[in-house]
Amino acid sequence: MSLLDDETAAGMVRIPAGTVDLRDDRRGARWQEAVEPFLLARLPVTLGQYWALTGTAPDPSVSHALPVTNVSWLDAVDMCNRFSARVGLAPVYSRDPRSGEVLRDPAADGYRLPTEAEWQYACKAGTTGYRYGELDLIAWYEGNSDGRAHDVGGRSPNAWGLYDMLGNVWEWCWDLYDEEVYGEYRTFRGGGWAEAERGCGATVRRRSHPTFAIDDLGLRLARSGAADPDGNSHD
């Protein structure tokens, strides 16, 4: 059983190639971006996976299936590398020893954060609306969460079998939000348990400094290439 399957039987979903329509409201720009085939975790990273990864003693009073939160973007890319190392995949990320900048190796087969284009494309799963289903059925948000995160996978998935793409916790993406205005701030997507209804949609973009950690922000793992969910590459 792989680390991804520990605690939650999360697994990876093969996402087909396609295109996605993106926009930048500040610049008033709209464009279409191609998305190559990739793998995306069926569920956000959980506390159980995090505890197993870090060797942390589980808290018996807390569910292993809760999504991990309070992780910065820098924590998230480090976790991707650690997940990769745990299962013998090549780490995607490295740090420039002089500038500290996070560098991405596009040839590496390890776990990584999805790009914004990948995230939005996977969230929509072939649908064209703001959401892939009725919000109360697919997401934990301000209107039904009772002010807390919930075990992952408790709402209905989208058409591609991805759970919690909207609601429960926001998810870090690789991309800079708007470098011209916000510098190194990174993007996160999806809405969280404290988010109002209007903020839980496939096209909603939020930002935070890469060193900041937030109590309704976590991550979901991706992998590049046409690999099998069991890790066998077909590139």
Q: What is the pLDDT of residues 155-176, one digit of tens each?
A: 999 999 999 999 999 999 999 9
For the segment 57-69, what is each residue's pLDDT rounded down to a tens digit?
888 999 999 999 9
Q: How far apart are CA 195 and CA 174, in angstroms?
A: 22
pLDDT at residue 228 above 90? no
Please choose, from the candidates 88, 193, 77, 76, the residue with its C-alpha nearest in 3D space to the C-alpha of residue 142: 193
Asked if residues 12 and 223 have their Cβ atoms less than 8 Å apart, the reply is: yes
Asked if residues 200 and 79 have their Cβ atoms less than 8 Å apart, the reply is: no
For the segment 30-51, what is each residue's pLDDT rounded down to a tens digit?
889 999 999 999 999 999 999 9
93 alpha-carbon distance from chain centroid: 16
How far does the chain reach from its first CA to its final CA, in angstroms? Answer: 23
